[in-house]
Amino acid sequence: NEVGETTGTGKWVDVPVTSIVQQWIDGQNHGLILRGYAEQWGKCVFFSSRFFYPQFRPFLEVIWTEPTPTPTNTLTPTATATSTPTNTPTSTATSTVTATPTATSTVERHKLYLPIAIKGGG
């Protein structure tokens, strides 16, 4: 269980949920729960994804890195020499340098705004 904690008013809580999301991928999706410890003092506030001010809406920021592509070998036909008698001069082959693109990883960032369901205390 990963826990995020804050003290004070109007502060964001940063909770890493990587292991929870991995459990979802593995088939155990029990969701997330937000529970306020301040309930004992009479007030604990959570904003929903429909809250009037967007900057206060809860969100899940998903960041991932695409893996670098693995090179794939491609077969190229090889020319075979054939002997042909000729009396004409032949040109000399020269090599040409060709740029090859380099594969790099890309980082993707996405924000998902979350609806909140809160179960009342007992």
Residue 4 placed within a domain: no
pLDDT tens-place string over residues 50-103: 888 888 787 777 777 777 777 777 777 777 776 666 666 666 666 565 666 665
Helix (H) / strand (E) containing 107: strand 107-113
Q: Which two tokens stand for residue 110?
A: 């996405």
**The whole model's pTM is what?**
0.39
- Contacts by 95-98 with C-beta closer than 8 Å and gap 24+? none
Q: What is the DSSP letter of 78?
A: P
Residue 36 placed within a domain: no
Mean pLDDT value of segment 26-48: 69
Residue 96 placed within a domain: no
Residue 118 placed within a domain: yes
Cα–Cα nearest to 32, from 122, 114, 120: 114
The whole-number pLDDT of residue 121 equals 47
Q: Count the alpha carbons within 13 Å of 102 in the hemisphere toward its beta carbon.
A: 2
Residues near 100 by beta carbon (within 8 Å), at least 6 away in sequence: none
Residue 26 has pLDDT above 80, yes or no: yes
pLDDT-wise least confident of 40-44, 55-59, 79-83, 114-118: 114-118
Parent domain of 61:
44-67+103-122
The total number of structural domains in the chain stands at: 1
17 C-beta neighbours (distance < 10 Å), count: 14
Residue 35 placed within a domain: no
